[in-house]
């Protein structure tokens, strides 16, 4: 089938939470930009009263609209079906997928419903429902992920799964399946995957989707409820439809940071990064060397790594005044970790060199990092990408972590277990 457009983009707004009105605002922004002959915008919007899918026409005009009624936008297969429908309908030279989801997690009533799926006949009391809704694990993207971390019968075991990064790991695996299936259906990688969701600018995520996605735009911190400034971002793409995926990724970072500099969010701070996933090995290779060097002499390096991690946490939480840390407690900014190790006089020369190489690889324009931007002193000094580093003496290493491609293909997983063993 011949291409009829330069770009076809799906913005998938899973707003069945307390961000429903903000999801509507994003929908209206995209509607007001509209589609052209060269750039087609499709949107799935799911709110409290049901879902609908749209194809935008001229600015302010809906070309196609279909009410879907009750629709589970947390179902990864629903996302796949929506992408296939739009991309088959509007074949393009380049495809974009933007996931707008769960900035503040799942509501207690949603968690109760998924509990019934995970453990039929089981009940969760209202206190635990509220607690789980406020836990880091509640910010998972997919219902299938939430179902898995709700399966254990014992509340204490569920608490561990919410907090130890399992949700993050399982989400990453599910996301890999989703984008891989979509890429297979269009016969090439997705040109741009935009994560309008929290905590997704992560090395494990980038590595997991690297074969199905060319460019990733995401935040390693929390995303304000207003989300992306779609009017500005999509408006510029409309005016320059020949824009490459790399240039579009850079544009998103620039407009996102500019928007929140002019309109500071309540928390005051934002961050965004654009990655060229064909170059992600530029970051992975020195990270693997760092893991190997740390593991080789963990009896000496364990305490140093702990001090670097603790120092980063103190800075990230402004000495415990903010909770949680900006990357949550299982994800840690790679720039902060590498800088701390590179400065230390107590680590080996191999560790120092690997850390310095990571810092070099994180420089925008040096390779994998196309652009990095942030607003607010809380994010000064970051590298734009996080990595999983569950602190010892607190929680176990995620039992799902070893399933990730990054864990299988590098020595980071082995380093984590050696690190924790030092403090057992």
Which tokens go with 38?
């060269």
* pLDDT value for 108: 85
* pLDDT value for 72: 85
Q: How far is CA 243 from CA 91, 250, 251, 357, in A?
A: 17, 11, 10, 31
Residues with Cβ within 8 Å of residue 286, at least 6 apart in sequence: 354, 357, 358, 360, 361
Tell me the domains of the chain and their CATH numbers.
5-104+168-279 (3.40.50.11970), 281-368+375-421 (no CATH)
Phi, psi (5° rounding) for residue 302? -60, -50
DSSP 323: S
Helix or strand run (H / E) with residue 331: strand 331-333
**pLDDT per residue of the chain (424 residues) written in tens, 0 to 9:** 455 799 999 999 988 766 788 899 999 999 999 999 999 999 999 987 789 999 999 999 999 999 998 888 889 999 999 999 999 999 999 999 999 986 567 888 888 989 999 999 888 888 888 888 878 778 888 999 999 999 999 988 888 888 888 889 999 999 999 999 999 999 999 999 999 988 899 999 999 999 999 999 999 988 888 889 999 999 999 999 999 999 999 999 999 999 999 999 877 789 999 999 999 999 999 999 999 999 999 999 999 999 999 888 888 777 777 766 677 778 999 999 999 999 999 999 999 999 999 999 999 998 999 999 999 888 888 899 999 999 887 778 999 999 999 999 999 999 999 999 998 7
E strands, 151-307, in order = 190-196, 213-218, 270-276
Q: Is the pTM of this model over 0.85?
A: yes
* pLDDT value for 1: 45
- Which of 244, 263, 267, 286 lies closest to 385, judged by CA? 286
Distance of alpha carbon 409 from alpha carbon 406, whole angstroms = 5
Q: What is the full DSSP assignment across 1-37?
A: ----EEEEEEEEEE--STTHHHHHHHHHHHHHH---S
* pLDDT value for 394: 72
């Amino acid at each position: 089938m011949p291409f009829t457009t330069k770009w076809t983009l799906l913005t998938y707004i899973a707003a069945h939470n307390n961000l429903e009105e903000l999801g509507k605002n994003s929908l209206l922004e995209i509607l007001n930009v509209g589609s052209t002959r060269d750039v087609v915008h499709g949107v799935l919007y799911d709110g409290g009263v049901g879902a609908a899918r749209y194809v935008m026409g001229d600015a302010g005009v809906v070309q196609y609209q279909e009410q879907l009624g009750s629709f589970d936008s947390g179902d990864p297969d629903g996302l796949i079906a929506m992408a296939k429908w739009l991309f088959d309908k509007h074949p393009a030279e380049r495809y974009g997928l933007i996931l707008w989801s769960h900035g503040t997690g799942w509501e207690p009533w949603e968690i109760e419903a998924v509990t019934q799926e995970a453990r039929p006949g089981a009940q969760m009391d209202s206190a635990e429902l509220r607690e789980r809704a406020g836990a880091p694990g509640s910010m998972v993207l997919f219902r299938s992920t939430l179902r898995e971390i709700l399966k254990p019968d014992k509340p204490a075991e569920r608490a561990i799964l919410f907090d130890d990064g399992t949700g993050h790991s399982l989400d990453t695996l599910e996301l890999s399946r989703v984008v891989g299936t979509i890429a297979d259906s269009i016969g090439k990688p997705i040109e741009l995957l935009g994560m309008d969701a929290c905590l997704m600018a992560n090395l494990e995520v980038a590595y997991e989707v690297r074969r199905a996605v060319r460019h990733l735009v995401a935040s390693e911190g929390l995303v304000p409820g207003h989300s992306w400034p779609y009017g500005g971002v999509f408006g510029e793409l409309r005016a320059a439809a020949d824009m490459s995926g790399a240039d579009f990724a850079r544009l998103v970072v620039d407009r996102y940071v500019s928007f929140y500099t002019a309109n500071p969010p309540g928390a005051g701070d934002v961050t965004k990064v654009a990655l060229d996933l064909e170059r992600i090995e530029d970051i992975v290779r020195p990270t693997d060397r760092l893991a190997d060097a740390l593991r080789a002499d963990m009896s000496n390096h364990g305490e140093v790594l702990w001090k670097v991690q603790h120092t980063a946490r103190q800075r990230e939480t402004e000495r415990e005044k903010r909770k949680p840390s900006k990357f949550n407690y299982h994800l840690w900014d790679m720039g902060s970790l590498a800088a701390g190790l590179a400065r230390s006089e107590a680590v080996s020369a191999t560790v120092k060199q690997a850390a310095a190489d990571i810092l070099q690889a994180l420089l925008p324009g040096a390779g994998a990092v196309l652009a990095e931007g942030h607003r607010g002193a809380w994010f000064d000094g970051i590298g734009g990408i996080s990595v999983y580093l569950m602190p010892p003496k607190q929680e176990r290493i995620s039992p799902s972590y070893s399933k990730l491609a990054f864990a299988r293909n590098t020595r980071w997983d082995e380093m984590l277990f050696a690190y924790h063993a030092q403090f057992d």
